[in-house]
Amino acid sequence: MTGYVSTRYYRAPEIMLTWRKYNEKVDIWSAGCIFAELLLGKPLFPGTNHINQFFVITDLLGNPPEEVINNITSENTLNFINSLPKRERKPISQLIPNANADAAVLIDRMLQFDPQVRISATEALASPYLAPYHDPNDEPVAAEAFDWAFLEANLPADIWKTIMSVLDTV
């Protein structure tokens, strides 16, 4: 998988840390960044490049926990992480002072380094901040996950062009 699946300011740490597999929790991270930006009036993590982006994140959220570091497969990435100065996570209420308590809790849960700890979309919708808008009867969930395996096919460019032209007509 590529590390450029989302806009830099909203890119989840597991993408930057070259994890081999990531899931829908990268979208929760992105939504948390956008939510924070709406309240701040500016990006929370305005990195200038791939490396600086990670510095900006760790400056605000502290160093990644061991559970995250243990999933890193690249030796270069591990060396980079181990070279970072030790930083502590800052409270979201300090980073976004105008956020009410429920918004701060939701953003904090959306911006967890470890995707296993990060809030799910279902949990976020049921959070106190979103409770007034939450309607479990009108929030459908896909019956099965979309299979992206076709993207792994090593096909010549002309075949991909044909596939894309057919899809454009559907």
Q: What is the pLDDT of residue 22?
A: 80
Per-residue model confidence as pLDDT tens digits over 38-72: 999 999 999 999 889 999 999 999 999 998 898 88
Rounded to whole angstroms, the Cα distance separating 25 from 30 reads: 9
* Residue 5 predicted with pLDDT over 60: no
Question: Which comes out higher in pLDDT, residue 56 or 147?
Answer: 56
- Average pLDDT of the chain is 90
123 by Cβ neighbours in 10 Å (0-12 / 13-18 / 19+) ranks as: middle
8-141 fold: Transferase(Phosphotransferase); domain 1 (1.10.510)
Per-residue model confidence as pLDDT tens digits over 91-126: 999 999 999 999 999 999 999 999 999 999 999 999
For the segment 142-154, the average pLDDT, to the nearest whole number, is 82
CA distances from 148 to 53, 136, 145, 170 (A): 28, 27, 9, 19
| Vertex 14: Cα angle to 9 and 17 (nearest 5) | 90
Question: Which comes out higher in pLDDT, residue 19 or 96?
Answer: 96
pTM for the whole structure: 0.82
Q: What is the pLDDT of residue 154?
A: 86
Q: What is the pLDDT of residue 2?
A: 45
